[in-house]
Amino acid sequence: MSEWKSCLLGSIAEVQTGPFGSQLKNEQYITGGTPVITVEHINAFRIQNIDYPSVTEADRQRLLKYSLEAGDIVFTRVGSVDLSAYVKPENQGWLFSSRMLRVRVSSLEVDSLFLSYFFRQDKFREYILNIAVGATMPSINTQILKDIPISYPPPPEQKAIASVLSSLDDKIDLLHRQNKTLEAMAETLFRQWFIEEAKEDWEEADLTQLIGLQSGYAFKSKDFQESGNFGVIKIKNISGNIIDIEQTDFVSDEVGLATAQRFNVSSGQVLVAMTGAEIGKLGLVPKTTKKLLLNQRVGLLEPKFIGAQYLAYLHLKSEFGQDYIENSATGSAQPNISGSLIEACPFPKVEDSILQQYGKQVQIYFVKVKENLGQIQTLEQLRDTLLPKIMSGEVRIQYQTEEVA
């Protein structure tokens, strides 16, 4: 690490705040315009592929100062101020909102992709949170970000570090895209079977044709610990149609072994959040050999035949299914839905033989999704283990220096 240089961020990069006040006076969000990145679009250090607010061409021209170039880095300015994302070529020309900061490297000594990984270190993120202003709603500004100390090795080593880490991220992104395609194919079949080719003589029934709902176990707060052999899946572990099995709480072997078998969670199962702001969120358990248990207020869709849980998953995550859950939930401050109400979600009465045929077909897609999710979490764990070791110098990346003619 002796050859690493140290400086303040402002000496090697420009920091720009998003548009404020009168600059937004005429701004109108439209469909199909230029996307505007807001705080909600930064997820897992990526610009998340969800619906973006968009502005007209006239507003884009007026706000050109706030456009993004490939290689920029965007920071959340308010709230989760430790989150950032690297701007890829497909995001070039987009805008960023008033709740964001843009970092644009201005020095030839620093590689922007390397810098984006420097920002992702837990050590750096903790530093940001500690210097943020405001207790209730932490915030940072251009000057705070400019005054942050950074360190970096020679450019060839920066590029080598960025290449290793980005190759892992690229593989992760590829697997995410594959899963998105697989789910879209399954959704297309589901829509064809139950909407486009729906029979007029189908009666209305419910999801009990497909699944039973197993609610989680009410562990005591004293049962939880920071490590162990038995991970506990809570609502917080359901994110983006995936169950995060890496960042779990744990219970002791004694508690885990004493917990009834019906609360065990296995690869490929589908879980649903049954309470709170995340009510109705669904996720698939990646391929894993870990011992996992189901916490209270998380429901498990138990299939009544092969692939039935995936038919129920596609139905519940549809606009109809999400509206049903939202409208059936009770409680204003803390919405809740029971397992029996989820089972009662309307679904057409279809012959068992046909449902079983459909279940087998969609299972093919979700088996591949499950395999991909397992690979994603393995790659993420490898990347997150490597990152601090590389940045601390514990692990050095081999690189070739450029020969001077």
CATH of the domain at 236: 3.90.220.20
* Predicted pLDDT of residue 342: 98
Does 17 lie in the same domain as 144? yes
DSSP labels for 79-109?
SSTT-EEEPPGGGTT-EE-TTEEEEEE--TT
170 domain residue, yes or no:
no
H or E element at residue 355: helix 352-392
Rg over alpha carbons for the chain, rounded to the nearest Å, is: 24
Query: Quick check: helix, strand or coil at residue 397?
Result: coil
Does 135 lie in the same domain as 254? no
Q: Which residue stretches of 317-351 are H helix?
A: 319-328, 339-343
Does 42 lie in the same domain as 124? yes
Does 307 lie in the same domain as 212? yes
In terms of Cα–Cα distance, which of 229, 261, 380, 363 is closest to 309? Answer: 363
Does 349 lie in the same domain as 204? yes
Report the 3 state secondary structure along 242-293.
EECCCCCEEECHHHHHHCCHHHEECCCCEEEECECCCCCCEEECCCCCCEEE
Per-residue pLDDT of the chain (405 residues; tens, 9 = 90+): 668 999 999 999 999 998 854 444 445 566 678 888 888 888 778 887 666 778 888 888 888 999 999 999 999 998 888 999 999 999 999 999 888 999 999 999 999 999 999 999 999 999 999 999 987 889 999 999 999 999 999 999 999 999 999 999 999 999 999 999 999 999 999 999 999 999 998 999 999 999 999 999 999 999 999 999 999 999 999 987 899 999 999 999 999 999 999 999 999 999 999 999 999 999 999 999 999 999 999 999 999 999 999 999 999 999 999 999 999 999 878 999 999 999 999 999 999 999 999 999 999 999 999 999 999 999 999 999 999 999 988 888 887 765 544
Query: Quick check: helix, strand or coil at residue 181?
Result: helix
Helix, strand and coil percent figures for the chain, each rounded to 5? 40, 25, 35
* Predicted pLDDT of residue 22: 45
Does 140 lie in the same domain as 261? no
388 domain residue, yes or no:
no
In terms of Cα–Cα distance, which of 296, 297, 288, 301 is closest to 246? Answer: 288
Does 53 lie in the same domain as 128? yes
352 domain residue, yes or no:
yes
35 domain residue, yes or no:
yes
Using a 10 angstrom Cβ sphere, with 0-12 exposed, 13-18 middle and 19 or more buried, the burial of residue 249 is: buried
Does 372 lie in the same domain as 243? yes
Domain that holds residue 116: 5-152
396 domain residue, yes or no:
no
Does 241 lie in the same domain as 201? yes
393 domain residue, yes or no:
no
Does 237 lie in the same domain as 123? no
* Predicted pLDDT of residue 405: 45
334 domain residue, yes or no:
yes
Q: Where are the beta strands (DSSP E) in 138-225?
A: 149-152, 204-206, 211-215, 224-225
Does 190 lie in the same domain as 50? no
Q: Following CA atoms 201, 202, 205, 207 in sequence, which dihedral angle do they give, to the nearest 10 degrees?
A: 180
385 domain residue, yes or no:
no
In terms of Cα–Cα distance, which of 2, 1, 9 is closest to 131? Answer: 9
Strand order in the sheet with 34-37: 29-30, 54-55, 34-37, 95-96
Domain count, the chain: 2
Query: Quick check: helix, strand or coil at residue 354?
Result: helix
Q: What does pTM read for this prediction?
A: 0.86
Does 215 lie in the same domain as 132? no
* Predicted pLDDT of residue 357: 98
